Structure 1
């Protein structure tokens, strides 16, 4: 059964690393526009909205045709505010207005290079496997694999995994992944009842090899421009 999924684009003001980041122009377009353009082409999102406390961001979003049904409370727009609180606030807003969703797909503007094809593929995998959640990930390079990572304990190095001996060959390392920040999909019941973005059954979609940047610093912004102008990024559409 197809689920009703809310697409949520969070874009607060007050970025310290890159002032005005979410509406700063990348290739002549506000950063959040890349995420909005991908989301609106997805046929599997019931509704797509922006959550922000910043009036300038809200005005830019509305001009782009992105729905902004409420202004996010200031207390949910601080550096330390967990994403789950922003999501729950949106779900509760819609519930109070008679609209409920089966799941939420969080789409952060800081990972602009995602396609509608990727969004749809993630949603389909999420639904077909009845996961509590699904996140997009990338493979950790061998040199950073947790089985090859050390922690300092009392002046000595110990394997971070707690193992006594190191895996000697790269070919023997199990695959490890890190979150790329592009897509988080979570069942509403897990968000509201377990207060969790993940639940017990977390699926994943591997985006290794696709153009990628998660923008947090000026160097990240430069990498985004490099990807954009090099032609590595080509927007895909369709299913």
Structure 2
């Protein structure tokens, strides 16, 4: 998955420097072999399951600044999104620049059956509409179109927003991706699905 991510970053044509943040020397060496820069190792307290991405990005920003670099924004590409490609990165950066947003996040459209109007709650074994009212009174076309972050596969944050201790600034724009490209590998089942899609040629 690191290979896919390195390819997306390096072939996008819009990333000034593709930096790998990791605490693992073996992963660092693999990243270097793929053409990524590894100018530092991430501290252990930012590498565990409870580590927040905000801290990881702030650490990266601080390390790059310490080396004298002026950073406009950081583009986060997590390896758990193997089907995010170079054109997704390129289009995201173009939209980020065009809109002058503080943050851009990649999203996927929420299926209509999962929007709030379609949800139900259970009380004493009986179901009732989550928001009250009647079920089935809203057609699919009438339901509000909602979006969910898809990993996110792409997250672009201005340095000033990170300096303020945030990932999401005052203005946030979304970059919509299709459901397949949005696959986020967090479980063994999702890894098997991604492997199957690649082996069968369904995703290239």
TM-score (norm 1): 0.78
Q: Distance in 2 between matches of 1:121 and 1:205?
A: 8
Deviations 1:40-74 (A, max 9, x none): 01111111110000111112112222110001000
Deviation at 1:110, TM superposition (A): 0.6
Q: Please list, as runs of the form range in 1=range in 2, the aligned pairs for 1:74-93 lying within 5 A after superposition.
A: 74-93=44-63
Structure 1 residue 38 and structure 2 residue 8: aligned? yes
Structure 1 residue 129 and structure 2 residue 83: aligned? no
Deviation at 1:95, TM superposition (A): 1.2
Structure 1 residue 184 and structure 2 residue 155: aligned? yes
Seen in structure 2, the aligned counterparts of structure 1 residues 151 and 120 have a Cα distance that, compared at 3 Å, is: same
Match of 1:215 in 2: 185
Match of 2:133 in 1: 165
Deviations 1:86-109 (A, max 9, x none): 000010111122112111110000
Match of 1:114 in 2: 84
Q: Distance in 1 between matches of 2:182 and 2:102?
A: 25
Task: Kindly indicate whether the alpha-carbon contact (under 8 Å) linking 2:108 and 2:182 is maintained by their aligned counterparts in 1.
Answer: no
Q: Distance in 2 between matches of 1:135 and 1:225?
A: 25
Runs of 5+ unmatched residues, structure 1:
1-30, 235-239
Matched pairs, number: 200
Runs of 5+ unmatched residues, structure 2:
none
Q: Distance in 2 between matches of 1:204 and 1:61?
A: 28
Task: Kindly indicate whether the alpha-carbon contact (under 8 Å) linking 1:91 and 1:100 is maintained by their aligned counterparts in 2.
Answer: no
Match of 2:108 in 1: 138
Deviations 1:167-224 (A, max 9, x none): 522111011111112101111101111x111112111111125444211111111111
Structure 1 residue 225 and structure 2 residue 188: aligned? no
Deviation at 1:230, TM superposition (A): 2.3
Among residues 94, 109, 133, which one is paired with 2:64 in the alignment? 94
TM-score (norm 2): 0.90
Match of 2:39 in 1: 69
Q: Distance in 2 between matches of 1:205 and 1:216?
A: 21
SS in 2 for 1:104: strand
Q: CA RMSD in A?
A: 1.9
Q: Distance in 2 between matches of 1:218 and 1:227?
A: 14
Q: Distance in 1 between matches of 2:123 and 2:54?
A: 33
